[in-house]
Each structure stands twice: as structure tokens, then as C-alpha cells.
A and B are shown apart, each in its own frame.
Chain A
Amino acid sequence: MLDALCSNILNRLNTGILILDKDFNILMWNRFLEVHANKSDKQVIGKSIFAVFPELPRKWFERKLSSVIQLKSQSFCGWEQRHHLFELSHSRPITTDSDFMAQNCTFLPVEVEGEVERICILIEDVTDVCHYQMQLNKVLQALALSNRIDGLTQAFNRKHWEECLAAEFSRARRYKQDLSLVMLDLDQFKLLNDTFGHQGGDKVLIETAKAINELLRMGDLFGRYGGEEFAIILPNTNLAGAEDVAERIRQTIANNAIDYKGRSVSVTVSIGVAVIDEQDSRYEDLISHADIALYKAKNNGRNRVCVAEKRNIL
């Protein structure tokens, strides 16, 4: 009577139960698996688990079960490490994009007189958990990104850019590497705003940032420093290299007028370049050297690149 009750309950559990002998033949399974694998008892009972579920990673699976048999202790396999072991259908085929049931599997030793004779595998459907965790991860990633990015220009925002500079600065110090800084400012941006309106100004900022981005290499770190001021960290780059980059940026921007509502807007930039110096003890020193060079470029007539005064270069 109790046996019948137990088997009734086993078949109504929303957890898969699979019992194997030591040669990995299936001795028993419950209705949950029968339904989700869509196979009949006849196709399964007495058969090798690898014949019934050819998708199983055989070597891994055998090693996993050998720990259960030898150590007589249970073992696990969670969805976060392996989304699924068995290719089973799941309960949210419409409202999730998961092909197969995400699973938490537990491998239990079943001892008979002190020896492990059988292995019981419990398979839980965690498609739901997996789905919501993925959603959460996506949101967290988007949030982390938006925390680093300037919404208008898609360059790094000031805060993140400065964190990058601090990290690059200490790395360059530690490994005695070059590190250059390029700071640039749009010329007469106020006049431009007055002429074309703030939306025109925004368009110029967006297009300028885009143009600069295309000229940079992997590893260069581009940020919006202030209103119309941008800054670029160039790791492993000496002063001559940085000056090259700056000059290319200046020319590209000067030679490509921006289209705003059918009107052609000519833009130029002034650029200051500096390289890390033995005397710089803080990354802020590097910024102020580049800044001074930038003001020199402005004072000498704009649309030009100026290099920070030579100090004791590393």
C-alpha cells in the first residue's frame, strides 16, 4: 500500500529520477523524465544511458560517476556551469528562448551492504531560474556600461575615463613604459552653438567623437573630459607617436565638414599632447601638462597640435 503510494508520488514529482547500475544501464526512471525525454519505457529500461542520451559528454560523465562510486558521496552539476546534461523539453517553451531544460543534477550513491551498487540521478528543471538570472545579468551589464559611457557621444564619461588613466598611469610607472595623453578641445564651440543652436552643437560633438574613435587603436582609451573637451589615453606610446595620432585627428576633423540639416559646419580642434615623465608622481600631473600644451595650441591660433615642454623623459 505504501509502495504504491510512493510510486504514485514518484511519478507526480516535478523532478526527474533516474537509477543506474554500475555499468551505467538505466534500471528505472520516473514519469517526469519519460514525458520530457519523450521516450517510452521500452526504449529506455535496461539500456545504456549513453545510448538513450547520446548528448551526454561520456568521459566527463564516467569520471563524475566514478567519484560517486569510489568516495560514496554525492556529486552535483549545476546549470551555471553546464546549462543542461540531458536534452529534455521544459515547461516554458513559449515564454523563454531556451531550447532545452536548464538543469541542476545531483548524483547520489545508493549503497547495498556498504558498497555502492547503484546511482540515483535527480534532475531538477531550473529553466525559470536560469532565464531570470540571464535577464538580470543582461541588465547588470547594460547598467555597468551606461555607468561608464557618456550618453551623447558614446565615449567614456569623465569618471570612468579618469579611473582608466589612474590605472594606466600606475601600470606605466610600474613597468617603466611610455604613456601619452592627448587632450583636445573644439575651437569656438560657443560660437557654433550660437549659430546652429544646441542641437547643432550636439551633432558636432557626436560626429567629432565618431571621427576620433575611428582613428584610434585597440587599447587607446577615449573619453569626454568636459563640455567640448575630449581626452585620449595612449598606453605604450611615446611623444612622437602621440603627436602623430593628434595630427591625424586634427587633419581629419578640419578636412571633413559636418552636415547639419543640409548646412555644412566646419569644425577645427586644438590639441595638447604630453607624455609621462619621471617627475610625474600622480596622473593629475600628466593631465596638467597636456592641458598647458592645449592652451598653448589655443593661444597660438587654434587648429593645431602643441606638445608639452620637454622635461626629463623616461
Chain B
Amino acid sequence: MNAFDLTEDQHDCLQELINVAMGQASDQLARYLDTFVYLKVPSIEQVKAEHLFDTLNNDLKATAVVSQGFFGYEGIRGEALLMYQPQDSNRLADLLGYEADELTFDEQIIDLSSILTTTFLNVFASQIDNQMSYSAPRLLSSSLDKINQHLKQQSFNWDFALKVRISYQVTDYSFNCDMVLLIPEEAITNIKTVIDRILADF
């Protein structure tokens, strides 16, 4: 147990906020993409900086990772990583409603990442009376080796992060990807304050 751990109540409350946001987000995405989007029950856990790569790598053998920063009021901020597997790539342009030759694969996953991240986080933010801004999404790398190197070369200036992982499934296009939200230490304290306020209102 450390200062950044969530209590059981806090954990349940966050889980509930995320569940509701997921429901609304999947509804919006389904209407925009014109197909059903399933979001699997999220996992919420704390990760240590030195285990970040292992935990991401265990989740799936991602070959492309897109990062997008988000920041709202009351110090709620973090980084969203969208992780893709190679077999997911075939019909992305189709799913997004573009002609396949209109955009490259990189652009497709960046576009989709931004849509998934902002749709979910906008709804989540409104749940906690907040509003998010986003940085431009960046493709960290399109090969696992490089992501590995990238993360291992960093000497992180944080010890713990709150990790929320949500899996997206678009069965009509046999497409899956994972969204991993990573919330750094200071922002965990801020999010706990917000959660405590919500819990106190009940």
C-alpha cells in the first residue's frame, strides 16, 4: 500500500465512472463508424515505472503504438497509448470510411487512435464535470523492437502510474486494439480528490 493506491471504494467508483463512459463512447463510436464496437471490462491497476514495458508487452504483442496526451482541469492528465497488432490492419480504412488509397496505414491508426481516445475521454470527463484537451497523437513506433528500445531507454521521472486498460473489439471488421491510459503520480492524487468528492455526494 502506498500513497497512490486507490482504496476499495475509490477503485469501485472509478470503475463505475469508466463503465458508464465506455457505454456512451461505444454508442457514439457505433453510430459514427456504422458498426458495433465492443469495449471489454476495463482493468485498473498500478504499475511501477520499471515494469511498464513488461506489463504492456504482456497485454499483447503490439506492433504499433500511438500516444496521445490528455489534460483537463484539477490536474487530471495522463497519456493514452493505443496498441495495435499486425493482423488488425487490413480493413481499417474501410472501417474509418476512407478510400484505402486516401491514407497510409500510419495515418489510419493515428486517426483511429485519436477517435477512440477522445471519444472515451470526453465522455469520462463530462462524468466528473471536467473537460479534456489533447495533444496531437504521435506514432511512437511501428515495430515492437523499437517500442521496446524506446521505453527501455527512458529513465522515467515517476515511480508509479495508474494504468487503465480497455480493449476495443469491432467484430464486423475482426479488429481489436487496446487502449491503455497511464496516469502519472501527481495526477493520481488529483483524481483521488475528485473521486472522494463524488463519493461524498452519495
* Residues in A lying within 8 Å of B, measured CB to CB: 57, 59-60, 63-64, 67, 70-76, 78, 80-82, 104, 106
- Please give, as numbers and ranges, the residues of chain A lying within 8 Å of B114 by CB-CB distance: 73-76
Asked whether A73 lies within 8 Å of B122 as measured between CB atoms, the reply is yes
Q: List 27 A-B contacts (CB under 8 A).
A: A57-B102, A59-B102, A60-B103, A63-B98, A67-B32, A67-B115, A70-B28, A70-B31, A70-B32, A71-B28, A71-B115, A71-B122, A73-B114, A73-B118, A73-B119, A73-B122, A74-B114, A74-B118, A75-B114, A75-B115, A75-B118, A76-B114, A80-B139, A81-B110, A82-B107, A104-B136, A106-B136
Asked whether B136 lies within 8 Å of A60 as measured between CB atoms, the reply is no
Asked whether A72 lies within 8 Å of B107 as measured between CB atoms, the reply is no
Asked whether B103 lies within 8 Å of A78 as measured between CB atoms, the reply is no
List the 5 closest pairs (A to B, CB-CB), nearest first.
A73-B118, A81-B107, A76-B136, A60-B102, A70-B32
Distance of A57 Cα from B104 Cα, bound (Å):
14
Residue of B28, B29, B98, B110 near A60 (CB, 8 A) is B98
| Min distance, Cβ B116 to any Cβ of chain A, angstroms | 10
Over the window 110-139 of chain B, the binary record of Cβ atoms lying under 8 Å from chain A Cβ atoms (1 yes, 0 no) is 110011001100100000000000101111
| Min distance, Cβ A54 to any Cβ of chain B, angstroms | 17
User: Contact residue range for chain B?
Assistant: 20 to 34
- The listed residue with most B CB atoms (<10 A of its CB), out of A76, A81, A104, A106, is A76
| Min distance, Cβ B131 to any Cβ of chain A, angstroms | 11
A-B contact count (CB 8 A): 55
Residue of B98, B106, B122 near A72 (CB, 8 A) is B122
Given A67-B115, A81-B104, A74-B110 contact (CB < 8 Å): no
- Please give, as numbers and ranges, the residues of chain B lying within 8 Å of A81 by CB-CB distance: 103-104, 106-107, 110
Over the window 184-196 of chain B, the binary record of Cβ atoms lying under 8 Å from chain A Cβ atoms (1 yes, 0 no) is 0000000000000
Given A76-B136, A104-B136, A71-B107 contact (CB < 8 Å): no
Name which residue of chain A comes closest to B121, CB basis: A73
Asked whether B111 lies within 8 Å of A75 as measured between CB atoms, the reply is yes
Name which residue of chain B comes closest to A75, CB basis: B114
Interface of B is mostly: helix
Asked whether B136 lies within 8 Å of A71 as measured between CB atoms, the reply is no
Asked whether A78 lies within 8 Å of B136 as measured between CB atoms, the reply is yes
Distance of A27 Cα from B104 Cα, bound (Å):
31
Asked whether A71 lies within 8 Å of B118 as measured between CB atoms, the reply is yes
* Residues in B lying within 8 Å of A, measured CB to CB: 28-29, 31-32, 96-99, 102-104, 106-107, 110-111, 114-115, 118-119, 122, 134, 136-139
Asked whether B137 lies within 8 Å of A76 as measured between CB atoms, the reply is yes
Distance of A74 Cα from B71 Cα, bound (Å):
14
| Min distance, Cβ A162 to any Cβ of chain B, angstroms | 20
| Min distance, Cβ A124 to any Cβ of chain B, angstroms | 9
Distance of A106 Cα from B68 Cα, bound (Å):
13
Asked whether B134 lies within 8 Å of A74 as measured between CB atoms, the reply is yes
Distance of A76 Cα from B114 Cα, bound (Å):
8
Distance of A59 Cα from B93 Cα, bound (Å):
13
Name which residue of chain A comes closest to B139, CB basis: A80
Asked whether A63 lies within 8 Å of B97 as measured between CB atoms, the reply is yes
- Please give, as numbers and ranges, the residues of chain B lying within 8 Å of A59 by CB-CB distance: 98-99, 102
Distance of A80 Cα from B115 Cα, bound (Å):
18
| Min distance, Cβ A151 to any Cβ of chain B, angstroms | 27
- Please give, as numbers and ranges, the residues of chain B lying within 8 Å of A78 by CB-CB distance: 110, 136-138
- The listed residue with most B CB atoms (<10 A of its CB), out of A64, A70, A71, A75, is A71
Distance of A63 Cα from B99 Cα, bound (Å):
10
- Please give, as numbers and ranges, the residues of chain B lying within 8 Å of A72 by CB-CB distance: 122
Distance of A234 Cα from B46 Cα, bound (Å):
52
Residue of A71, A76, A82, A106 near B119 (CB, 8 A) is A71
- Please give, as numbers and ranges, the residues of chain B lying within 8 Å of A74 by CB-CB distance: 114, 118, 134
Distance of A81 Cα from B104 Cα, bound (Å):
8
Distance of A177 Cα from B102 Cα, bound (Å):
39
Asked whether B98 lies within 8 Å of A73 as measured between CB atoms, the reply is no
- Please give, as numbers and ranges, the residues of chain A lying within 8 Å of B110 by CB-CB distance: 76, 78, 81
Distance of A64 Cα from B138 Cα, bound (Å):
17
Taking A60-B103, A78-B136 as known contacts, 8 extra A-B pairs with beta carbons closer than 8 A to each other, sorted by chain A number, are A70-B31, A70-B32, A71-B118, A71-B122, A72-B122, A75-B115, A78-B110, A81-B107
Distance of A282 Cα from B173 Cα, bound (Å):
42
| Min distance, Cβ B134 to any Cβ of chain A, angstroms | 6
- Please give, as numbers and ranges, the residues of chain B lying within 8 Å of A64 by CB-CB distance: 111
